Amino acid sequence: MTGNLHPISQYLRQTIKIFVDLGFDIFEGPEVDNEWYNFDSLNVPADHPARDVQDTFWLTNGNLLRTQTSNCQVRYAETRKPPIKAIFPGQIYRNEATDFKHETNIFQMEGLFIDKGVKVGHLFGTLKEFFQKIYGDDVEIRFRPSYFPFTEPSFEVDVKYNGKWLELLGCGMVHPKVLENMKIDPEIYSGFAFGLGIDRLVMLKYGIDDIRWLRSGDLRFLKQKQIKGVK
């Protein structure tokens, strides 16, 4: 009898392997973190409207549950020297009511690359390569300018899926203030960062209609598998 790897683990493996092959290190930061690493160091001060976008779980001791794997950016980079190249997979938390597409616990995977001469084209090229490996060489993707406080310029990445553009990922060039917080000189170095929402990609891949199945512990879900020859 063979057991079953959780679909999130299956998807993460495939994703992580692509970046490991591109030479990225893996770092899993803390899930309970402080305001500095989760917000302030990423150019999101307390009175910033961008904080509203993320409903935060605050703990009674003043710490918080990270709202994004970006909390690893400064933590990882401040003790290292460029070139810095790592992915940060892990679970993040949003304090909101749950329904078929909203969850309090979700997986993200952040990527960070900092070196001399890193350009927007490196970001585009890396993500294109990633989506080609996931969805095949003829995948269509587009980069739309957007806004995140910790990147400048910032982008949303859309992937064409069944004829429709789907927003799958946020990314951008690391903001100079974030580089400074990493103790890296933004006049010498530049870099890119991106964040993937894993649960949503898992749902898309397998056609899962309700995000809550993923944490249901229901073996009717977890034990399902592709059977050879059965469509």
Partner 1 sequence: MKVLYSWLKDHVDIDLSAEEIAEKLNLSGTAVEGIVKQIDPQVIVAQIKKIEPHPNADRLQVAQVFTGLEELQIVCGAPNIKENQKVPLAQIGTKLEDFEIKRAEIRGVESFGMMCSDRELGLSDDHAGIKILPDDWEVGKSLNEYLTGDSVLEIEITPNRGDCLSHLGVAREISVITGNKLKKPETIEFSAGDNLNLKIENKELYPNYVAIQIENVKIGESPEWLKSRLLAMGAKPINNVVDLTNYIMLDLGQPLHAFDAKKVVGGIIVREARQHESIETLDGVERKLTQKNLVIADHEKPIAIAGVMGGKNSEVDDQTNSIILEAAEFKPSSIRATSKMLNLSTEASYRFERGIDSSLVEYAAKKAASLIQDICGGKVVAIEKITTENEPIAIEVEYEKINNLLGLDLDSSQVDNILLSLGFEKAGKSVLVPSWRNDVSLWQDLTEEVGRIYGFDKIKHLSVETEKLLNNKTYFNKEIIKNLLIEEGLTETINYIFMSEQDIRIAGISSSDLPEVKNPIQKENKYLRNSLIPGLIKNAAKNPAFEPIAIFEIGKVFSEKSETSMLAILVAGKNAKSLIDSIKDKLKLESEITKISEEILGRFKIRKSQVFALELSIDKAIKNMGEPDLGQALEAPVQSFYYKKISKYPPLTRDFAFILPDSVLSSEIEETVFETSDKVLLVEIFDEFSSTNFGQNKKSVAFHVYFQDTKKALDEDEANQLSKNVIDNLTSKFDAKLRD
Q: Which is nearer to partner 1, 18 or 74 (CB)?
A: 18
Task: Supply the minimum distance, in Å, between the C-beta of residue 183 and partner 1.
Answer: 18
121 or 136: CB nearest partner 1 = 121
Whole-angstrom distance, CA of residue 77 vs CA of residue 57 = 25
Q: Which of 43, 102, 48, 93 lies closest to 67, judged by CA?
A: 93
CB-nearer residue toward partner 1: 162 or 223:
223
31 C-beta neighbours (distance < 10 Å), count: 15
Q: Where are the beta strands (DSSP E) in 63-177?
A: 64-65, 84-93, 105-115, 141-148, 151-161, 164-174
Whole-number Å distance between alpha carbons of 66 and 92:
6
Cβ-based nearer residue to partner 1, 135 or 206 = 206
Nearer to partner 1 by Cβ, of 14 and 183: the residue is 14
**Least distance CB 220 / partner 1 (angstroms):** 5
The 10 Å Cβ neighbour count of residue 93 is 20
Best CA proximity match to 134, nearest among 104, 185, 86, 169: 169
Q: What is the DSSP letter of 186?
A: T
Select 21 or 185, whichever has its Cβ closest to partner 1.
21
Least Cβ distance, residue 73 to partner 1 (angstroms): 15
CB of 159 to partner 1, least distance (A): 14
Beta bridge partners of 191: 114
Collapsing DSSP to helix, strand or coil, 61 comes out as coil
- Give the separation between CA 230 and CA 223, rounded to whole angstroms: 16
Provide the minimum distance between the beta carbon of 1 and partner 1 in the complex, in angstroms, as a whole number: 4
- Minimum distance of partner 1 from residue 77's CB (angstroms): 12
